[in-house]
């Protein structure tokens, strides 16, 4: 329990004493918060962060978190995977919102399933590459990701 530095009244955790109104000094016995307490991503392994950027459906969330965090601001490999994961997600969106409506109107033409299989294969392939700490450049997406990392 803490006491007032002026009158000795019990103050607890208040900033000012309730009896005399004196401002209480900072408790230097309490250590400042550690980096892990300030940064929620401090315990996240860079390899795991890279892999999460390619998870179909939710990888875009991990990519944005990785690219916005201070933890990975200077890690070019993780940022590369973050950008490439975002560009791959944009390809998923284009497939879902643009290609599928067009290709479904063509009878007997099942190219849309092939496109989805290719995108899924690319995601799985890149999760394996990220697990091995490799910066493999996918066609088109890899070049864009390299340019994005270089601009930082």
Summarize pLDDT for 101-137 with one digit per residue, the tens: 888 888 777 788 888 999 999 999 999 999 999 999 9
Q: With H, G, I as helix, E, B as strand and everything else as coil, classify residue 49.
A: helix
Q: How far is CA 42 from CA 36, 50, 70, 130, in A?
A: 5, 14, 9, 19
The residues near 48 (Cβ < 8 Å, ≥ 6 apart) are none
Nearest to 114 by CA among 95, 130, 136, 138: 95
Summarize pLDDT for 35-88 with one digit per residue, the tens: 445 677 778 899 999 999 999 989 999 999 999 998 898 899 999 999 999 999
pLDDT reading at 8 higher than 90 = no
Summarize pLDDT for 9-42 with one digit per residue, the tens: 887 777 788 888 888 776 544 445 554 456 777 7
Predicted pLDDT of residue 125: 96
């Amino acid at each position: 329990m803490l006491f007032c530095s002026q009158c000795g009244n019990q103050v607890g955790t208040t900033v000012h004493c309730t009896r005399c109104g004196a401002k209480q000094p900072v408790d230097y016995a309490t250590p400042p918060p550690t980096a892990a307490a300030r940064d929620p991503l401090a315990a996240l392994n860079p390899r795991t962060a890279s892999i999460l950027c390619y998870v179909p459906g939710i990888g875009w969330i991990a990519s944005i978190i990785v690219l916005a965090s201070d933890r990975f601001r200077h890690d070019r490999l993780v940022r590369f995977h973050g950008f490439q994961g975002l560009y791959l997600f944009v390809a998923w969106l284009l497939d879902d919102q643009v290609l599928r409506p067009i290709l479904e109107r063509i009878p007997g033409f099942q190219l849309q399933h092939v496109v989805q299989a290719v995108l899924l294969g690319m995601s799985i392939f890149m999760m394996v590459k990220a697990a091995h700490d490799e910066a493999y450049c996918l066609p088109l997406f890899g070049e864009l990701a390299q340019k994005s990392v270089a601009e930082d």
